[in-house]
Amino acid sequence: MKPKVREKKELSRRKFLKCTGTIVFAMGSSGYLLSGCGVKEEELGIAVSDGYLVVDVEKCQGCISCMLACSLVHEGTQSISLSRIQILQDSFGKFPDDLTIEQCRQCEAPACVEACPEDALTANAKFGNVRMVDKEKCTGCGSCFVACPFTPARLSVMEDSAFNNELKSLKCDLCANTPHHWDEKGGGPDGLQACVEVCPVGAIAFTGKLPAQEGNSGYKVNLRDKNWAKLGYRNS
Amino acid sequence: MNGYAGNILSINLSTRSITTIPTKKYEQWVGGHGMGSALFFDMVKDKTIDGFHPENVITLMSSPLCGTLVPSGAARTEVQGIGVQSLPIGWFTRSNFGGRFSSMLKYAGWDGIAIQGQADSRVWIDIRNDDVKIRECDDLNLWGTDTWECQKAIWKDVSGEGAYGDWIKINEKGDMTTQRPAVLAIGPAGENLSRMACLIHDAGNGAGQGGFGAVFGKKGLKAISVIGTGSIQVKDPKGLMTSRLWLKKKYSFSLKNLKINDFTFGFQSPPVPMTLYSGGKPRIGQRPQACVGCTAGCRGRYEDGIGNEAICFNSLFYLFGKTLLIQRQAADLLNRYGLNAAEMFVGELYLKKLRDLGFIGKEKAIDCPLDFNQYGELSFAEQLVKAISYRNDGKGNPHPFGDILAEGFVRAAEKWGRLQGEDSDLKTGLLKFPHWGLPMHKLERSQLDWGYGTILSDRDINEHCFDLLRAFPTYFKRSGQRLPPAEDIAQVITDKMEPFQGDKKMLDFSTENMYSEHIIKLVTWHRHYTRFWKQSAQLCDFRWPDFLNLYGPNKTGATGIAEQRFFNDVTGKGFTFLDGINLGKKIWNLDNAIWVLQGRHRDMVRFADYIYTNPGKTSSGYPQYMPGIKNGKWDYVVTSGRHFDQDRFEDFKTRFYRFQGWDEKTGCPTRKTLESLALEHVADELEKNEKIQIL
């Protein structure tokens, strides 16, 4: 598979205008702003996810094993472009800004779900309302990619060999739909996530508690304990 | 071809041709070193050429494991070709670096690169998946930049200004990634053809040995950039994930159950994330930084951005830098200017001794512009690095000192007249370059696997497989800690050393045993294991082999079980551990045949004179201990303070060659041995060049 997406610029503008309108509406109706584009939950009627990934960017050693595990269990191949979690590094940078982990937030108000014109991206009740792509319905239009308000977008659109190399959206499903999952019970909020399990230093964790949606503090957390400090790294 | 991208990129800089070699053609060699040696053998018709000759081929090879989830085995790149650093000639040699270059190369669709020829202008290679271009350095003003500036300029060009941090398109097809390209670059030292010049990738991944930075410079090649968005097929995805988690659970460090020895300088198993400078661990905010797929990062990135990713000799280079900050800054200098840290480390100490003895300085016997009043300050290290990199006085003015020293410390000592007569610095041991004109690493008279392995090959082997047998006993003896019975340790390790398993005396490092058949087997096994499992399959030296393990059952490591398990998960080849050892034997024989074709004879295989006369002393003054039999009983015996006996070493060589199935008189592999390894064409080449007898 080769990753391809439609031009983001044009759709971004449409998305921006749409979100702007929503924000104005929300403020006027004294509703609270949700993450993503500020869409109110009751408007979307999307149940919150039963699970989330949180990460510690100061603990991460940049081995990208999480990315490789992600593509392995989902696609059966090794690829960093097909990974649903992305590690970005600057070898010459200053700690801790030399590295970041960008994972899907399973937003409380997911702009990607809202943007999908085919209802292919939904909160999947079978898997604890994880925001998941139904590839049978997905047309690879890229609306979800464009709608994601974060940089980089927490999903991508790639050619999928299982669908004659048609473009399909790729998105973190907490390993719910993983043909190559190693554990009999599989993944999802009630199972095991490949990135969490494989990380050598425990820089990625699963939580069932909805993280704070504003900013990054709910998703980028401190997972360092006293044993981490014993190795000579700060834990506070 | 599970684990492979499918093609090898072949670039001739003279003709500017870019062609493809199907990896399948060389698949029998698996990858890495084996594939590189085979490619070199086929592509370089005249093996006697100098490393600077345009026809010299440099190969950069990945392995089937690169870019996969194999723990501490997914990130190395093997570099081979005729080097320019060693003496009496530049041997066909190897170097190796980590990071993310080989994985990115495979994601781009290439299992390796072979570079031949010499460009008529200064160029760099831009690889974006299957789109490969030879581009002019002038377009980005790359020539003259240091290795970091060069990489940043290429990042900017490939990623697009301001685009990084988001998904970016790497080509007109719209292939996407969030990653920066992996760039391998030379600095000013390589541009100016210093024989100590190395290749640098990211901040601190260096291919130091061989002087390949100078070979790149001579070819007019400043850098290779690669970015890939593709996938590598794996035979058994579930199996690979299961194996990875098996190793994590059974044989890797656990933060919930941390077991670490106080001594972290040696290569303990399993390794824990670590960073180190001679002045200790920097006490500032930092992270451990790991290569692709590694379980324990072995270098750091720091909150001041100084000393990022420096490791080993690189971080120890400026031993007498007055502060830790200066040591870290000095490490950066080596990485930025692109100089071999091992030679700079040992060589800098040599200069200091010459200065202390009054031989070197302004208006001294050796006219030296270095300001020794600044020794310990950063300015001294900077002047030294610049003098070598620019072949001048280190301050921008012409001076023969830098020009001479850029040729390497042994060549410089020769030029300075310090290798003449009985007072030769290689007879007194003042110049600690004991083998092939290359700097000392481990105490070769103590760590026999290291010393013999180096002199019987082409370079400081830098393979830490048995280093724990010196590191821990030596430290534990000093600190009064209790050691496990030496015989038990020898038993556990030798049980894993197929096909010589169970011969405990392979690890008897006592003086009585240092020329024995058992040590011949140790050296042979080591050559075969590393040639395949480390340098062809490309398992990392920091992690493998896993002989002893603080978490393993009965503290036994995973070697002999794990290597082939991961290899087969990825490739499906059904290899046994011994299959790997046997392929290592074949590769070892091919390498030796190449050295013979270059002109090697057994008479050239000898240490510097001081190794046969001077007792090997440690820099700390404390003795070294290793397992050995003393008065009929296993113990940890003192292995420092002894020297090799020249006659007994010559006899050792004779028996070593015999054990390999080689000509005892010349050291050349025989036709019979080569044919037994399906290397008839190599025997034919040796015969054509009158290196072996025509039957």
What is the 3-state secondary structure of B255-271?
CCCCCCCCCCCCCCCCC
Q: Do A200 and B166 touch (CB under 8 A)?
A: no
Terminal Cα-to-Cα distance of chain A (whole angstroms): 41
Residue A43 has a pLDDT of 53
- Looking at A25-29, A134-138, B100-104, B368-372, which range is the least confident one? A25-29
Residue B80 and residue B93 in contact, taking contact as beta carbons nearer than 8 Å: yes
User: Does the beta carbon of A48 lie under 8 angstroms from any beta carbon of chain B?
Assistant: no
Low-confidence ranges of chain B (pLDDT < 70): 161-163, 261-267, 693-695
Give chain A positions within 8 Å (CB) of B240: 72
Q: Where in the sequence is the domain holding A77, given as residue range(s)?
A: 49-229
Suggest the residue from B167, B233, B292 to mutate for an interface test with chain A (most A CBs closer than 10 A): B167
The ipTM, to two decimals, is 0.96
Q: Do B230 and A71 touch (CB under 8 A)?
A: no
User: Does the beta carbon of A91 lie under 8 angstroms from any beta carbon of chain B?
Assistant: yes
Q: For residue B423, what are the contacts with CB-CB under 8 A and spacing of at least 6?
A: none
Q: Which pLDDT tens digit goes with each residue over B582-599?
A: 999 999 999 999 999 999
Suggest the residue from A80, A84, A104, A144 to mutate for an interface test with chain B (most B CBs closer than 10 A): A80
Mean pLDDT, range A120-133, rounded to an integer: 97
What the block records as the tokens of B542 is 């920091």
Residue B660 and residue B673 in contact, taking contact as beta carbons nearer than 8 Å: yes
Q: How far is B271 from chain A (nearest CA, A)?
A: 11
Q: Are strands A204-207 and A52-55 parallel, antiparallel or unpaired?
A: antiparallel
Q: Can you tell me the distance from the alpha carbon of B196 to that of B124, in angstroms, rounded to the nearest whole number? A: 21
Query: In CATH, what number is assigned to the domain containing residue A143?
Result: 3.30.70.20
Q: For residue A43, what are the contacts with CB-CB under 8 A and spacing of at least 6?
A: none
Other residues' Cβ atoms within 10 Å of the Cβ of residue A31: 16
Show which of residues 168-207 on chain A sit within 8 Å of chain B, judged by CB atoms: 180-182, 194, 197-198, 200-202
A32 belongs to a structural domain = no
What are the angstrom distances between the C-alpha of B381 and each of B186, B259, B285, B385?
Answer: 19, 38, 25, 6
Q: Are strands A130-133 and A121-124 parallel, antiparallel or unpaired?
A: antiparallel
Other residues' Cβ atoms within 10 Å of the Cβ of residue A205: 16
Q: Do B241 and A227 touch (CB under 8 A)?
A: no
Q: What domain count does chain A have?
A: 1
User: Does the beta carbon of B5 lie under 8 angstroms from any beta carbon of chain A?
Assistant: no
What's this model's pTM, rounded to 2 decimal places? 0.95
What is the 3-state secondary structure of B618-644?
CCCCCCCEEEEEECCEEEEEECCCCCC
Residue B259 has a pLDDT of 85
A97 belongs to a structural domain = yes
A12 belongs to a structural domain = no
Q: Do A94 and B302 touch (CB under 8 A)?
A: yes
**Is the per-residue pLDDT at A30 higher than 70?**
no
A7 belongs to a structural domain = no
A35 belongs to a structural domain = no
Q: Do B233 and A77 touch (CB under 8 A)?
A: yes
Q: How far is B555 from chain A (nearest CA, A)?
A: 20
Residue A122 has a pLDDT of 97
Q: Which pLDDT tens digit goes with each residue over A37-62?
A: 445 444 557 999 999 999 999 999 99
Of A2, A65, A72, the CB nearest to B237: A72
Of B229, B253, B308, the CB nearest to A3: B229
A15 belongs to a structural domain = no
Q: Which pLDDT tens digit goes with each residue over B427-467?
A: 999 999 999 999 999 999 999 999 999 999 999 999 999 99
Give the three-state DSSP class for B369: coil
Give chain A positions within 8 Å (CB) of B173: 2, 4
Residue B84 and residue B50 in contact, taking contact as beta carbons nearer than 8 Å: yes
Residue A236 has a pLDDT of 87
Give chain B positions within 8 Å (CB) of A202: 255
Residue B172 has a pLDDT of 87
Q: How far is A137 from chain B (nearest CA, A)?
A: 23
Q: What is the DSSP letter of A220?
A: B
Residue B694 has a pLDDT of 55
Q: How far is B230 from chain A (nearest CA, A)?
A: 6
A223 belongs to a structural domain = yes
A172 belongs to a structural domain = yes
